[in-house]
Amino acid sequence: MGIKVVISFSGGKDSMLSLHKAISQGYEPIALMTTINKNKGDSWFHDISSDLLKQVSSATNIPLLLVECDGENYEKTFEAALKNMKNLGAEACVFGDIDIDHHKQWGENRCKNVGIKAIFPLWQNERELLVKQFIDLGYKAIIKKVNLQNMDSNFLGKTLTHDLLNDIKKTGSDVCGENGEYHTFVYDGPIFSKKIKLLENREIINENTLVLRLH
């Protein structure tokens, strides 16, 4: 068995690709750890429901750890969850960061404070190549959140393809969405035992952000 790791899991394409790469590199994921906005009940940043995250956990056969926190105690709660994972045997946490230094530093600091390693399987890889690799591996990710200052509402609800990446680039947006142009939810792929069915959706506009509620 490989080194046991916990995955800092958003439910989006980058964290899923980092999970895929960690497994291919011989690491053993013992949990998907997702932070939940205590005031909303959905995941931070991607606004994914707990129910969908549980379905991902079931489909990938990796236990799910939901970490409820608010903006005031986010770091402290994250570290407490890491410490819990360490007690369960995790030696490292896997993050999906690509090339934003302060994001990587944040993850390293959280891990350092609890005495485990931080692993970044995607670090310093070219953004467009990563998202193309994600698609070529057979993963399916739906765009569930767009910043209307960068992309229009027509992108919402579409599954990432090479053609769609070209359309994203035409808007002037980062093809990987690293500047917050869009967020995704991964509903199928090579490590899934079954495809997650997205039964219903509705659009919610919040300031400049358009969100697809998936059920």
- Are 180 and 199 members of one domain? yes
| Boundaries of domain holding 104 | 4-119
**CA dist 45 → 3, 22, 180 (Å):** 29, 23, 9
Match 């994250």 to its residue by tokens: 78
CATH of the domain at 52: 3.40.50.620
Q: Is the pLDDT of residue 37 over 90?
A: no
Other Cβ atoms closer than 10 A to 30:
18
Domain end call among 88, 119, 150: 119
Q: What is the mean pLDDT of residues 4-20?
A: 97
Domain end call among 69, 96, 119: 119
- Are 10 and 92 members of one domain? yes
172 DSSP assignment: T
Domain end call among 91, 119, 147: 119
pLDDT of residue 206: 62
Q: 43: pLDDT confidence band, cut at 50, 70 and 90? A: confident
Nearest-CA neighbor of 167 among 183, 152, 149, 189? 152
- Are 87 and 152 members of one domain? no
Work out how many domains the chain is built from and give that number.
2
Q: What is the mean pLDDT of residues 100-114?
A: 95
Q: For 149-200, how does the pLDDT look when each residue is reduced to its tens digit (9 = 90+)?
A: 999 989 999 999 999 999 999 999 999 998 889 999 999 999 999 999 886 5
Amino acid at 125: N
Q: What is the mean pLDDT of residues 109-127?
A: 97
Mean pLDDT rounded to a whole number for the chain: 91
pLDDT of residue 95: 97
